[in-house]
Amino acid sequence: MTITLASEAFAPPVDHTLIIAIFRYAVDGRHRVLAELGNTQVLAWMEMQSLNVREEICFAVDWSAEAEALEPSATRVTLGNYQQNIWTTIPLQIRIDEARVFLETSFSIVLEDAISDKAFLFRMLTEGERDFISRQITSGFLRIDHGGGLPNMRRQVTDRTADPSSRYRTWVLFDSDALRPGSPSKESELLREACENIPHHQLQRRFIESYLPAQALRAWATTGGTSDTRRVRFERLEAFFRMEPVQRHHFNMKDGFSSDAKRTGESAGDL
């Protein structure tokens, strides 16, 4: 997130501690923070600060400007002496005296299973992306939330949308549970509709495990267990690979065909 401090925020009366704390978001790597350091009001405020604070602020703004030039933030916020918070503009307009709760709330990634889906998601990231997200989690700037299945995720999302700021602090990833391309299950579609104002991604394939590469599946089939267990796994894997790619993408990796036979409604069918 990129924060711009409006020049008016530096005019007396001013909360010095608050403004310094906001600049330190950039020093800590939480947010980017920009300000017109050449503005008369900003210069006058800067002259009242210690040399160490001035140097820290200059570093924060320089780092933020460089980072923003390389990769612009998806969310931009202007902090100023507004009458009220406006969540529908670009950038957002937030009262500076009410900003800290919003800016210091951890960004939430909501997954169906906070353990297994997180592990899978991390396998899909580059090393640099994994390192970045791990640092954000360790610093408390980002958290992985357990969704607990599609219906429960929909309830969570519905609760969050009551707060207009939640769309800027939440991202949801969930299965399509589609038996065939373009036919998500009813529960998946209800969740997608609930996420209308929340950033999200509905998987095109059926489950998150539908994206496992062949190498990972072969490792599962040939590692661990008894020789009989590995033989059965390998036979199942060979049958799986005989399917067409689109069939593999929508196969029930956990329960096989038997579970799908009971499915009804518009998203029912077979491979």
The pTM of the full predicted model, rounded to 2 decimals, is 0.85
State the SS3 of 34-103. Answer: ECCCCCHHHHHHHHCCCHHHHHHHHHHHHHHHHHHHHCCCCCEEEEECCCCCECCCCCEEEEHHHHHHHH
Decide: 100 and 18 in contact? Cβ < 8 Å: yes
CB atoms within 10 A of CB 89: 10
Whole-angstrom Cα distance, residue 194 to residue 112?
15
- What is the pLDDT, as a whole number, of residue 164? 93
130-139 contacts at long range (C-beta below 8 A, 24 or more positions apart): 135/29, 136/107, 139/28, 139/29, 139/30
Decide: 54 and 60 in contact? Cβ < 8 Å: no
Give the chain's largest Cα–Cα span.
Answer: 78
Whole-angstrom Cα distance, residue 1 to residue 169?
10
- What is the pLDDT, as a whole number, of residue 15? 95
Decide: 174 and 113 in contact? Cβ < 8 Å: no
- Tokens for 160, please give them: 């969050």
Confidence of residue 141 (pLDDT cuts 50, 70, 90): very high
List pLDDT tens digits, range 66-120: 999 999 999 999 999 999 999 999 999 999 999 999 999 999 999 999 998 998 8
Decide: 73 and 1 in contact? Cβ < 8 Å: yes
Q: Residue 143 corresponds to which amino acid?
A: R
What residues have CB less than 8 Å from 131, skipping those under 6 apart? Answer: none
List pLDDT tens digits, range 196-243: 999 999 999 998 888 888 888 888 888 888 888 888 888 888 988 898
- What is the pLDDT, as a whole number, of residue 232? 87
Q: Residue 83 corresponds to which amino acid?
A: Q
Does residue 158 register a pLDDT over 80? yes
- Tokens for 63, please give them: 């780092």
What residues have CB less than 8 Å from 48, skipping those under 6 apart? Answer: 16
Does residue 252 register a pLDDT over 90? no
